[in-house]
A and B are shown apart, each in its own frame.
Chain A
Amino acid sequence: MNSILKDLLRKALDNGIVSSVMVPSKGPGNSFPWTLVSDVSALQRAEPVPPVMSVQGAKALASFTQSMPEGKLLAVMRPCEARAAVELSKLEQIDLDNIILLTMDCPGAVPLGEYGEDGITEPDINDPATLRPLCRQCTGFTSAGDLCLAMHGGLNAVLPLTASGQELLDSLGFKAEADISGWEEWANAQRGERQVTRVENMENLKEAYSGLQGLIEVFSGCISCRSCRTVCPICYCRLCFIDMKDRRSPASEHLERSRNGGAARLMSNTLLFHIGRMAHMSLSCVSCGMCEDACPSDIPIGRLISMVSADTTAVFNYSAGSNPEDPLPLNTFLPEELHEYED
């Protein structure tokens, strides 16, 4: 573990400034489960930036923070996880009041399915083959949450991004960094490069899979396991719209469709599910790529949703998870807007 981060976590717990720390830990085998740590000694197994994303951090956080009874919690997570946590707080699934989010310069994550095999054990920024496709094109790889561990451009320090982050650093006696320009330079250069990749990838994807036929093709391998939904931090509903009883088609309707088309797919709501899900969550999508990692059929689902999300968020000039003060686009309106969508 990074020594500065280690020092910070230890001191924060030891001095009782936070009552617990949420951080991934090294588990048996090659696993990295999230842990809620209350005792300093358990920090020994902490692995703040594991090579894989096992569970999206915001999802882990939301599993026990709908209400925050007492004591501060320090959550160490990747920038995309912190952004998802902010979205979940807007969706009233996480109470962020007593939570401090600490992120880092994220090196990306190894695809779950590739991890360990072929010797891929660490993500390498310079080797795209070691990174999940969405990590390769991620432009939000740093500076999210209240604090950020900066490890590039000559820096190795925890930088405050918000007042509560600053407060924590002050209470622990961490001094402010005088010069962060090298790190900012690094981040800007990285962001620029990845933005190019991102635009390029999205264009290719759009070309390959747009239109009904394209969508039918890309989702033809879908086995309806709904893992993409279950692992998604934003999809928090206990009962999804697609599983409601009134979505079921009567047998006669199935037969009718089969007669009309010569054949009809059973489990027929595949496209409805995916498009419906995009409609529900794309505005809050943080492009974490967890859905794509979980897909047993290797569908580029994360890239597709991220592509859709780029378009839907652009309508409202919204950036998921960036600013806790920005209201969810569908929870607000302006009297004069979106005239291009009406007549």
Chain B
Amino acid sequence: MKDFEPRIIGFLCNWCSYAGADLAGTSRLKMPPNLVPIKVMCSSRVDPEMVTDAFLRGADGVLIAGCHPGDCHYDKGNYYARRRFAVLKKVVESLGLEAERLRLSWISASEGARFQQVVEEFTENIRKMGPNPTGKETLL
């Protein structure tokens, strides 16, 4: 498993988490390059469909990151995002799939260090889990 480099899809909300990622970058914080960021306007823009699509097509991990509860740019988008994520997580769990490959984190625009820490930790966890078996499965 030494050669395994996880590929993680990150849906980052425009107002907080993407800015947090930016801050981590401009602060020259070192972090693994495994996360492929996709900017969305709000964490609630992430249809669970997008997550399952990534998951079933072999993404080793999927991160959704948005503003802390109460701080949503659109007032309450992240509360809805949390419910949708709960459904997703429980469905995946009930099917015996690896729910640990999905993560929802609140990261504000000022939390560059937290962004670094989440990416580091998530990448390490996924690295330990190994590649997502959906990546090689031909009969999905």
Contacts and interface: CB of A to CB of B under 8 A. Distances in A.
A–B contact via C-beta, under 8 angstroms: yes
Q: Is the interface of B mostly helix, strand, loop or mixed?
A: loop
B139 to A, nearest CB: 6
A29 to B, nearest CB: 11
Interface string B109-140: 00000000000000000000000000000110
Nearest to A42: B138
A35 interface: yes
A39 to B, nearest CB: 10
Interface in A1-40: 27-28, 33, 35
A42 B137 CA distance: 12
Contacts of A33: 139
B96 to A, nearest CB: 16
Contacts of A28: 139
B62 to A, nearest CB: 25
Contacts of B139: 27-28, 33, 35
Contacts of A27: 139
Interface string A29-58: 000010100000010000000000000000
A37 to B, nearest CB: 9
A27 B138 CA distance: 10
Interface in A305-329: none
A85 B94 CA distance: 39
Interface string A218-256: 000000000000000000000000000000000000000
A28 B139 CA distance: 9
A33 B139 CA distance: 8
B47 to A, nearest CB: 19
Nearest to A35: B138
A27 B139 CA distance: 8
A35 B138 CA distance: 8
Interface of B: 138-139
6 contacts: A27-B139, A28-B139, A33-B139, A35-B138, A35-B139, A42-B138
